């Protein structure tokens, strides 16, 4: 979900030669097209909050609760529109997460033991300590079922905070944050599967397993046609949905299958297209010099065949995981996540809800778990891993920057709201949880930003350039 190097360099250059819009350039990454960006999600969240607390609140909420049915013969399934978004569109977001997790383990910050231990230790601490904080305040309460709310972070918002500093922060900050976020996302999904599966149908799970095995079989046969993969992917989604496990798990499971290596190396590509390039040139020259239209068309057809071969070879140099991320990312940023926010954020800022949230152990557990538990767990377990010599702190990374990573780890938002809806099903507890999540995420973002600002200032002071 990172910016292209050339694009990032262009953005940095604009700050120097066009100082006027520097403020806007810092926040332009909130709306980047080549990474899952937080800007559209933030705008949609604000619109949802305004609508829910407006005189048109009832009509707005009834829009998302309107039933949508799909029927074919004896098959009939009906869900509110909001649930279709959660079950049908959100798996695409988790498909991106699964793909990013695999890429981080294959060629990113988790590719070797030396680089993987630090974010892994931080993620373990960032899971155990927040949940312990939540249970400490809710253990004897009926709201203890919401323990999973504090388990995961919002990768898009946390990366957006880091992105506002451009290159003034060490590159290791982003690498550690991505590794931590990848493992944290896995933990969050395991929480959804283990803690929020109300019923279980093994027959549908067998269907999902068969479709999943079919995808593995196609990969073994090195099939490159997209249609069979899409059909089998739908089979995995239907099987997981019917089994009772939340279908977001289907997105992650499929994402973990995507190849992170290209089918053809650049060197092999150069060797294979030499003759076809010559054929294109020869056919194009022949078509331009001949007067007979039929003969010219024949030469053009030969050129097109060679160009088709070159096109296929070029496509083979692109890894499937990167291609899928490139295709889906704009849709995730500008459609899926905004629709999720518009349909799921139902926080009423009424005096009653604010009073209940202020005195509720649920809200207190969420705020303490995210704002305090996440950074303390991340920093404590990271320190222990370094102290036990299982990991090493990168030379350019300071503990101030690590505190910034721990701070933004408390931005729960998307996954936290998602889990809150699973735990409390849009009840009053869900509203209190949403209010606490928003407050805790905002506070965590500010804390992380302040630590990053100090780290960036010190980093610039130490940079002789």
15-51 pLDDT, tens digit each: 555 554 555 555 666 777 777 777 888 899 899 989 9
Q: Which residue has the higher pLDDT, 210 or 243?
A: 210
Backbone angles phi, psi at 254, to 5 degrees: -70, -40
Strands (DSSP E) contained in 39-188 are 67-72, 75-80
| Separation CA 31–CA 177 (nearest Å) | 20
Neighbours of 187 (CB within 10 A): 18
The stretch 352-371 carries a mean pLDDT of 88
| pLDDT exceeds cutoff 50 at 3 | no
Task: Give the position of tokens 């944290």.
Answer: 184
Mean pLDDT over each residue of the chain, to the nearest integer: 83
pLDDT at 39: 82
Q: What are phi and psi of 360, to 5 degrees?
A: -95, 130
For residue 364, the model assigns a pLDDT of: 93
Q: What is the mean pLDDT of residues 114-123?
A: 85
Q: Give the per-residue pLDDT at 376.
A: 96
Does the 30-88+110-196+328-462 domain belong in CATH 1.20.1530.10?
yes
Structure tokens at 419: 């889990």
What token pair was written down for 339?
Answer: 């629709």
pLDDT at site 11: 53
The pLDDT of residue 26: 58
The answer to whether residues 183 and 109 touch, using CB atoms and an 8 Å cutoff, is no
Rounded CA separation 119/386 (Å): 11
pLDDT score of 119: 87
Give the mean pLDDT of 283-303. 81
Q: Is 72 helix (H, G, I), strand (E, B) or coil?
A: strand
Q: Which ranges constitute the DSSP H helices of 202-265?
A: 202-220, 226-243, 248-255
Looking at residue 196, its pLDDT comes to 75
What is the residue extent of each domain of the chain? 30-88+110-196+328-462, 266-316
pLDDT surpassing 50 at residue 1: no
| pLDDT, average across residues 245-257 | 83
Q: How far apart are CA 440 and CA 438, in angstroms?
A: 6
pLDDT value, residue 465:
42
Q: Which of 440, 360, 434 is nearest to 407 (CA)?
A: 440
| Cα-only R_g, the chain | 25
- List pLDDT tens digits, range 157-194: 887 888 778 778 887 888 788 788 878 877 877 887 77
- The predicted pLDDT at position 6 comes to 46
Q: 374-388: per-residue pLDDT in tens? A: 999 999 999 999 999
pLDDT in tens, 196-210: 776 778 888 899 999
Residues 254-263, mean pLDDT to the nearest whole number: 82
Q: What is the pLDDT of residues 44-95, one digit of tens each?
A: 989 998 998 899 988 998 998 888 887 776 666 778 888 888 888 888 888 8
């Amino acid at each position: 979900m990172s910016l292209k190097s050339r694009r990032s360099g262009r953005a940095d250059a604009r700050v120097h030669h066009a100082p006027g819009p520097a403020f806007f350039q810092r926040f332009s990454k909130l709306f980047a097209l080549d990474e899952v960006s937080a800007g559209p999600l933030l705008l949609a969240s604000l619109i949802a909050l305004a609508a829910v607390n407006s005189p048109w609140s009832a009509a707005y909420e009834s829009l998302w609760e309107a039933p949508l049915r799909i029927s074919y013969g004896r098959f009939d399934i009906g869900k509110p529109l909001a649930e279709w978004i959660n079950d049908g569109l959100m798996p695409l977001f988790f498909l991106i997460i699964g793909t990013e997790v695999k890429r981080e383990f294959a060629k990113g910050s988790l590719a070797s033991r030396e680089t993987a231990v630090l974010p892994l230790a931080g993620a373990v601490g960032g899971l155990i300590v927040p949940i312990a904080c939540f249970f400490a305040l809710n253990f004897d309460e009926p709201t203890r079922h919401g323990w999973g709310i504090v388990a995961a972070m919002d990768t898009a918002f946390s990366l957006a905070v880091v992105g506002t500093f451009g290159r003034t922060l060490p590159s290791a900050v982003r690498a550690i944050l991505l590794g931590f976020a990848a493992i944290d996302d896995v933990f969050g999904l395991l929480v959804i599967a283990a803690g929020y599966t109300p019923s279980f149908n093994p027959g549908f799970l067998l269907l999902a397993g068969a479709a999943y095995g079919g995808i593995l079989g196609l990969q073994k046969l090195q099939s490159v046609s997209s249609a069979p993969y899409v059909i089998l992917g739908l089979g995995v989604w239907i099987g997981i949905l019917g089994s009772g496990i939340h279908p977001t798990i289907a997105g992650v499971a499929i994402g973990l299958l995507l190849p992170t290596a290209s089918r053809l190396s650049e060197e092999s590509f150069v060797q294979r297209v030499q003759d076809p390039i010559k054929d294109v040139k020869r056919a194009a020259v022949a078509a331009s010099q001949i007067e007979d239209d039929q003969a010219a068309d024949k030469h053009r057809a030969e050129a097109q065949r060679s160009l088709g071969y070159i096109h296929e070879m070029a496509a083979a140099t692109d890894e499937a995981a990167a291609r899928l991320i490139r295709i889906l990312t704009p849709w995730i940023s500008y459609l899926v996540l905004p629709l999720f926010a518009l349909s799921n954020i139902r926080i009423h800022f009424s005096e009653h809800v604010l009073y209940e949230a202020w005195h509720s152990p649920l809200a207190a557990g969420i705020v303490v778990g995210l704002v305090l538990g996440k950074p303390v767990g991340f920093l404590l377990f990271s320190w222990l891993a370094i102290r036990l010599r299982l990991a090493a702190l990168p030379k350019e990374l300071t503990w101030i920057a690590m505190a910034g990573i721990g701070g933004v780890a408390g931005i729960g938002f998307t996954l936290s709201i998602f889990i809150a809806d699973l735990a409390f099903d849009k009840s009053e507890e869900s509203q209190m949880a949403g209010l606490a999540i928003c407050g805790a995420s905002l506070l965590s973002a500010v804390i992380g930003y302040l630590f990053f600002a100090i780290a960036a200032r010190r980093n610039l002071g130490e940079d002789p350039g």
